[in-house]
């Protein structure tokens, strides 16, 4: 072992490799252990898991059918849906159990990556460091700690499986492994369509480490390019699957409404964002600070940023091509990073984010491999203590930074507190944080955030309603009423704004009758709404319009025939309008419903009214 510590190219036996692989996986599990006590996040976790009627019922014939035929939420990915459904079977809606599953998948990926690099190069310590960077780098926390991103950890497992099978196929000349590559590719696509780049990734493996195509000197680049195309032709069956999945994903995401930015932002802006995103991804890997769940999209990027990013990408590509004869690993690693990010870099933009840490879960591996193997000493060279210390310190820093990042994922509040703290003008994060504060009745903290959302997010009815609700709960009814009015100007059919404004006017010291028009509009929009109907009927009755009040209640009863409170009000109003027979019928019905519901208050009130009727 002393020799291995100083000579990184010294061979290791299988027992050492197994021990190192287990060490990587165990450290990964320990690093992410706190996640088992975390909650769901109110951003995609709801529509993907706990509020999804198909997933929340677990594995049933109907839910499995939906998983395989539906793409109505984002895109076709039946295996990731089945993974969530299995968690429901095992843990119910205990978020900790769902988190444990994601941690186990990530740990398995760390072990599988170690194995992949090991069989690709037969070099234990470089493989160990590549896998450790992947497992412990803070930029990958989002994919593991966010339950909604289960598709990341599962899809990369199959993706790595495909790469391993492809290596074994050409290392052993056993064509049976080609079936393994194909099966893993399809399974990966059934988990996340980002794997469409795999055929191109396999061509990069032909360059390094398989060396099925070589460029011995720069003058051979043309022949090298032709050879790459020939190697790509070998993958035509896989490419056909790629094209089909790309088309299906594009159609599915348009129908699901996920491609919101592409319709509003031109191709030039999206290209600019893509170039800058590449540079920002590289920066996050080198200096992983201010990582968060949502980076707001900016259609007006500074020209200097765009130019600098383009220069960086061109320079990186030129350097790796020039180094191709001596260090092909740079070429494969660099274009691994560039190529696997293409589906999510923003040319066809999905969602409202400029970039996302989760998108690096697979592409970052290319950079890890390129850097580690390009810097690794030649055969027979020994590490000095400084180099060993640097690598050890780097991995420790990754663990410390990752643990810090992990703790920002405890729940929706901590996630969006982080997002608001490290980004500027992020109104979506502010809105989500304010909603979390509101659920916890932390209205003093929610109110200024909702106001900021109005300022940054543009005129949106929901934003004005939320701001009004916050003002109402901190004792500012006049400001709340004005905000509800603004919401109604933007959306005259906003039922919640109508009801809240009407209730504010009802309890104001001014004329309560001012609330009547708003209650009328609310009841017209939703005749089945019981409480607004009863309140409106009471106001009309107080104004001396018992017949009009009775008509309102009778209309609502057509939609809610089993509402005891509507029957009670219909009974009292029928009595006051001189129809004791109808009053008796309604009150008897209210009593029967109250007995069924064990509603003592309603029962006593209806019985008292019934006893007071003239025989």
**Measured between alpha carbons, how far is 9 from 12 in angstroms, rounded to an integer?**
9
Exposure class string for 154-177: b at 16+ Cβ within 10 A, else e: bbbbbbbbbbbbbbbbbeeeeeeb
* CA 491 vs CA 154, 462, 467: distances in Å: 42, 9, 15
Mean of pLDDT over the chain = 91
According to the model, what pLDDT value does residue 267 have? 80
* CA 452 vs CA 457, 469, 497: distances in Å: 8, 14, 19
Which percentage of the chain shows pLDDT scores above 70? 93
Tell me, rounded to whole angstroms, the distance of Cα 573 from its chain centroid.
Answer: 52
According to the model, what pLDDT value does residue 302 have? 93
According to DSSP, the residues that pair with 353 across neighbouring strands are 296
pLDDT-based confidence at residue 78 (cuts at 50, 70, 90): very high
**Measured between alpha carbons, how far is 506 from 512 in angstroms, rounded to an integer?**
5
Token duo for residue 277: 């995103």
Mean pLDDT, rounded, for 538-563: 91
**Measured between alpha carbons, how far is 110 from 104 in angstroms, rounded to an integer?**
10
According to the model, what pLDDT value does residue 460 have? 87
Opening angle at CA 361, ends 355 and 363, nearest 5: 80
Token duo for residue 348: 């066809």
Opening angle at CA 342, ends 123 and 80, nearest 5: 80
Say if residue 423's pLDDT is above 80: yes
pLDDT digits (tens, 9 = 90+) for 427-474: 999 999 999 999 999 999 999 999 999 999 766 899 999 999 999 999
Count of residues making up the chain: 615
- What is the H or E stretch that residue 279 is in? helix 267-286
**Measured between alpha carbons, how far is 203 from 245 in angstroms, rounded to an integer?**
20
Structure pTM? 0.89
Say if residue 235's pLDDT is above 80: yes
According to DSSP, the residues that pair with 248 across neighbouring strands are none
pLDDT digits (tens, 9 = 90+) for 169-178: 999 999 999 9
pLDDT digits (tens, 9 = 90+) for 310-322: 999 999 999 999 9
Q: Which long-range contacts (CB under 8 A, 24 or more apart) does 240-243 make?
A: 241/185, 241/186, 241/189, 242/196, 242/197, 242/198, 242/199
pLDDT-based confidence at residue 378 (cuts at 50, 70, 90): confident
According to the model, what pLDDT value does residue 349 have? 56
Task: Tell me how crowded residue 88 is: count the other CB atoms within 10 A of its CB.
Answer: 21
Token duo for residue 608: 């008292």
């Amino acid at each position: 072992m002393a020799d291995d510590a100083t000579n990184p190219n010294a061979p290791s036996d299988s027992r050492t490799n197994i021990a190192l692989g287990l060490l990587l996986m165990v450290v990964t599990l320990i690093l992410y252990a706190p996640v088992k006590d975390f909650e769901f996040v109110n951003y995609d976790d709801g529509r993907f898991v706990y509020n999804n009627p198909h997933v929340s019922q677990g594995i049933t014939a109907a839910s499995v059918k939906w998983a395989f035929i539906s793409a109505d939420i984002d895109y076709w990915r039946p295996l990731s849906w089945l993974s969530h459904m299995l968690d429901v079977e095992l843990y119910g809606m205990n978020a900790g159990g769902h988190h444990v599953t994601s941690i186990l998948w990530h740990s398995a990926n760390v072990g599988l990556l170690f194995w992949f690099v090991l069989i690709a190069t037969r070099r234990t310590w470089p493989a160990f460091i590549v896998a450790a960077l992947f497992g412990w780098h803070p930029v990958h926390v989002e994919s593991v700690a966010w339950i909604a991103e289960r598709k990341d950890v599962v899809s990369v497992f199959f993706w790595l499986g495909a790469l391993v099978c492809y290596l074994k196929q050409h290392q052993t000349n056993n064509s049976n492994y080609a079936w393994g590559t194909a099966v893993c590719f399809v399974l990966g696509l059934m988990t996340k369509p980002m794997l469409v780049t795999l055929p191109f990734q396999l061509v990069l493996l032909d360059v390094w480490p398989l060396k099925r195509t070589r460029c011995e000197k720069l003058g051979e680049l043309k022949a090298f390019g032709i050879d790459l195309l020939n190697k790509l032709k070998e993958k035509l069956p896989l490419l056909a699957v790629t094209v089909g999945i790309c088309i299906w994903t594009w159609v599915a995401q348009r129908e699901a409404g996920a491609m919101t930015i592409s319709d509003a932002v031109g191709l030039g802006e999206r290209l600019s964002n893509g170039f800058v995103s590449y540079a920002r991804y590289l920066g996050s890997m080198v200096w992983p600070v201010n990582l968060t769940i949502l980076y707001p999209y900016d259609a007006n990027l500074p020209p200097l940023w765009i130019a600098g990013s383009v220069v960086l990408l061109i320079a990186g590509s030129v350097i790796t091509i020039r180094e191709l004869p001596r260090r092909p690993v740079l070429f494969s690693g660099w274009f691994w990073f560039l190529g696997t990010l293409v589906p999510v870099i923003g040319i066809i933009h999905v969602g409202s984010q400029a970039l996302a840490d989760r998108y690096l879960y697979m592409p970052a591996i290319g950079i890890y491999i390129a850097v580690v193997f390009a810097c690794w000493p030649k055969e027979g060279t020994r590490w000095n203590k400084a180099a060993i210390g640097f690598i050890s310190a780097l991995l420790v820093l990754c663990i410390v930074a990752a643990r810090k990042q992990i703790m920002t994922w405890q729940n929706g509040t901590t996630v969006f507190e982080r997002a608001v703290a490290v980004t500027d003008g992020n109104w979506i994060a502010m809105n989500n944080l304010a909603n979390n504060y509101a659920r916890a009745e932390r209205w003093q903290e929610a109110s200024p955030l909702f106001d900021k959302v109005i300022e940054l997010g543009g005129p949106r009815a929901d934003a004005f309603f939320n701001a009004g609700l916050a003002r109402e709960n901190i004792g500012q009814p006049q400001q709340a009423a004005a905000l509800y009015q603004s919401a109604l100007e933007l959306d005259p059919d906003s039922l919640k704004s109508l009801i809240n404004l009407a209730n504010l006017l009802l309890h104001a010291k001014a004329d309560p009758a001012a609330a009547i028009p708003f209650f009328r509009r609310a009841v017209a929009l939703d005749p089945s709404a019981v409480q607004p109907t009863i309140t409106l009927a009471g106001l009309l009755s107080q104004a001396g319009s018992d017949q009009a009040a009775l008509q309102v209640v009778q209309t609502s009863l057509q939609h809610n025939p089993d509402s005891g409170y509507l029957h009670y009000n219909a009974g009292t109003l029928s009595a006051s309008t001189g129809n004791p027979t109808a009053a008796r019928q309604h009150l008897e019905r209210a009593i029967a419903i109250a007995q069924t519901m064990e509603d003592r208050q309603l029962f006593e009130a209806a019985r008292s009214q019934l006893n007071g009727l003239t025989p």
